[in-house]
Structure 1
């Protein structure tokens, strides 16, 4: 009998014909080959099918499923239903794996068969020029301390903001037990809910390795101001749902801290938006809300300046934004240049 693969990559594809080939190539580049890739043409799209079929014809580990658009959850669910691997791994159709993903994650699983899931860190990169941003995924969500894979991840950890990158290896039986990306709850971020559910009953480890690349596109949700509010609301609801069955005071405290942090940044953003729109009263109100959530130097200075000299802050803001963009771009290019000169990929 021929055993099945260790890893099943679940990829739902819609509107990403320009990126899917790079995603597939990143899987083909794995230094450990016991994987399968299931791509769901969640459109369907003749061009998407053509691209994926050209790879599937050359490598039997790649499978194409075509269906009417069932949304992101429906696409992942369709791929999961066909998975044969011991571990499933969601991989978006515009993101990339580093060549060592299977090898490094697999080494953790091979050395400790009791582990049910392994999460990783990831690079974030600009989809326009392909350059890595200086701040990787875990730091971008406020986690500064490196992960310790010898420690089992707890619900307190996840509710406190230590949420692994969505592309991970999750034992298929555990994935099915917690409902996968169809958690039975609407208006939530599936990846947050699934991690909250997994850590309660299963052994989840987080390693510090950056083993994927997360594409930030010009049309990404995080770059669309009109959708940011809805995204933040979903994220807050996800953490609340994740803590719903816990009565542990540490979990409740972690949840409260995370929600306060999110409301703080939300109020700062709203204050900036109102200021640039000329609504000084709303800007001050949001700055006051931010200060009430977190009495930081930033919120204090923002509130004081909006009270005394909102016009000055309005004039200074575009200059500050331009300087920030220039510095961020320069740092990203330096990091990318050093990585290329060192002969590494990412």
Structure 2
């Protein structure tokens, strides 16, 4: 590996002992080998640090920064400041990267200097490792920007590779926009370069029933509107921004979404499991019974 690696992998970690080893295995199994792996232990109270230290002891590419908890955004900015690579690749501590991810992203970034951020499509699994289905994002800069201005974040944060000089130039991650700090960054990066997604599903994203999406919907919506409003002002766009209709209002809604996703992908056992969870959460909704009936029929 060269003195300055081609890629710096950035992974903030907070209480991820259950999943972080699997995530690290997926990164260290990359076919592209020239990277440093920066793990920010954000004051974990479980055994996450001990798990990461075992990897650092046997692989010199693993670099651990451990300090008291400050939250995701400061951890991301600290990792960004420590990165030495030409590119930065993000990963969350409970997600998985396909082995060819870095190879494909590095090749595309090298070929297109105007690209400042490159994501990919993704698979989804639940917290138990059961596949749910897939997420397909727009692929071109123009389509991504259109979706972003409609309030739909269209780059998976844990799948992205970006140019750190561009991210630093636009001010890095902003704490005041959390939990939409990635959406905010894509908006600002789209003003200094081009965005894209690869069509391959290079990320398997773990969806948690206790996730931010499931528990802080009002805050997320408020920050989403803040990002849009600031973007409208920076770009001098006509009219006023509008948020898309909220699809998730409760954990029951989330279970129903996962059940339909699993059914569409042919994961019948998982679909039935979430149909039952949906019915228990929302027994008086006809949509709960509809999902259960379709999951039992298998279509």
Is the TM-score greater than 0.5? yes
Q: Do the aligned partners of residues 329 and 212 (structure 1) sit closer, same or farther apart at CA in structure 2, a change above 3 Å counting?
A: farther
Asked if 1:262 corresponds to 2:245, the answer is yes
Larger helix fraction of residues: 1
Matches of 1:186 and 1:162 in 2, distance apart? 13
Q: Does the aligned pair in 2 maintain the 1:125–1:213 contact within 8 Å?
A: yes
Q: Is contact 1:122–1:211 with CA below 8 Å preserved after alignment?
A: yes
> Is 1:154–1:199's contact at 8 Å kept on the other side of the alignment?
no
Task: Give the structure with the larger strand fraction.
Answer: 2
Q: RMSD of the alignment, in Å?
A: 3.0
Helix, strand or coil: the match of 1:229? helix
Once residues 76 and 295 of structure 2 are traced to their aligned partners in structure 1, the CA distance between those partners, rounded to angstroms, is 34
1:139-154 correspondence to structure 2 within 5 Å: 146-148=138-140
Aligned residue number for residue 89 of structure 2: 89
Alignment match, 2:185: 194
Q: Deviations over 1:204-257 (max 9, x none)?
A: 222222111111122112233xx22222222232222333311134xx57x43x
1:244 aligned onto 2:233: yes
Which residue among 149, 156, 168 is the counterpart of 1:165? 156
Counting matched residue pairs gives: 268
Local SS of the residue matching 1:57: helix
Could you tell me which residue of structure 2 aligns to residue 296 of structure 1?
Answer: none
After TM superposition, give the deviation of residue 33 of structure 1 in Å.
Answer: 1.0
Tell me the TM-score normalized by structure 2: 0.79
Q: Paired residue for 2:112?
A: 112
Q: In the alignment, what sits opposite 1:175?
A: 167
Which aligned pairs between 1:276-295 and structure 2 lie closer than 5 A? none
Matches within 5 A, 1:62-73: 62-73=62-73
Counterpart contact for 2:15–2:46, Cα < 8 Å: no
Match of 1:10 in 2: 10
- Give the drift of 1:70: 0.7
Distance in 1 separating the partners of 2:182 and 2:54: 30
Q: Separation in 1 of the partners of 2:204 and 2:44? A: 26
Match of 2:264 in 1: none
SS state at 1:204 partner: strand
Residues 247-300 of structure 1 show CA distances to partners (whole Å, capped at 9, x for unaligned) of: 134xx57x43xx1x235x47xx48x99xxxxxxxxxxxxxxxxxxxxxxxxxxx
Q: Deviations over 1:38-92 (max 9, x none)?
A: 1111114472221111101111111111100011111112211211111112211
Q: When the two structures are superposed, what TM-score results if normalisation uses the length of structure 1?
A: 0.69
Q: Distance in 2 between matches of 1:16 and 1:190?
A: 20
Larger radius of gyration: 1
* Larger displacement relative to structure 2 (60-69 or 232-241): 232-241
